Amino acid sequence: MKKIKAGRQPNRSLAGDIGVGIVLIIFGCFFAFPLVYVINSAFKPLDELFVYPPKLFVRNPTTKNISDMFLLMNKQGVITFTRYAFNSLFITAVGTAGHILIASMAAYVLAKYRFPGSGPFFKMVTVALMFTGYVLAIPNYLIMSKIGLVDTYLALIIPAFASPMGLFLMKQFMESSIPDVLIEAAKIDGAKEGKIFFTIVMPLVKPAILTLMIFSIQSLWNNIGTTYIYSEELKTLPFALRTLAAGGVARTGVSSASTLFMMVLPVVCFIFSQSNIVETMASSGIKE
Q: Give 199's DSSP letter.
A: I
Look at residue 77 in the predicted model and tell me its pLDDT: 60
28 belongs to a structural domain: yes
* Domain carrying residue 27: 14-61
- Asked if 118 contacts 110 with a C-beta cutoff of 8 angstroms, the reply is yes
In this structure, the answer to whether residues 260 and 203 fall within a common structural domain is yes
- In a shared domain, residues 32 and 162: no
The pLDDT assigned to 102 comes to 93
Domain tally for the chain? 2
pTM: 0.79
Same domain, 18 and 101: no
What was the pLDDT predicted at 4?
A: 46
The confidence score (pLDDT) of residue 286 equals: 45
Residue 3 lies in a domain: no
On whether residue 106 sits in a domain, the answer given is yes
Calculate the CA 195 to chain-centre distance. Answer: 28
pLDDT of residue 153: 92
One domain, residues 226 and 107: yes
25 and 166 both lie in a single domain: no
pLDDT of residue 93: 93
- Rounded to whole angstroms, the Cα distance separating 237 from 91 reads 11
In whole angstroms, give the CA distance from residue 103 to residue 100. Answer: 5
Nearest to 95 by CA among 202, 182, 246, 217: 217
Cα(6)–Cα(22) distance, rounded to whole angstroms? 23
Residue range 167-210, pLDDT digits in tens: 988 888 888 888 888 888 888 888 888 888 998 888 888 888 88
- 219 in a structural domain: yes
Q: Is residue 267 domain-shared with residue 180, that is, in the same domain?
A: yes
Q: Are residues 43 and 120 in the same domain?
A: no
| Residue 216: how many other CB atoms lie within 10 Å | 23
**In this structure, what CATH number is given to the domain that contains residue 119?**
1.10.3720.10
Residues 138 and 80 in one domain: yes
The residues of the chain scoring below 70 in pLDDT are 1-12, 75-78, 247-248, 273-288
127, part of any domain: yes
Residues 42 and 172 in one domain: no
Residue 233 lies inside a defined structural domain of this protein? yes
3-state helix, strand, coil in the chain (%, to 5): 70, 0, 30
Provide the b/e sequence for 154-173 (b: ≥16 CB within 10 Å).
bbbbbbbbbbbbbbbbbbbb
Does residue 4 belong to any structural domain of this protein?
no
One DSSP character per residue, 226-246 reads TTT---GGG--HHHHHHHHHT
Same domain for 124 and 106, yes or no, is yes
| Domain co-membership, 90 together with 214 | yes
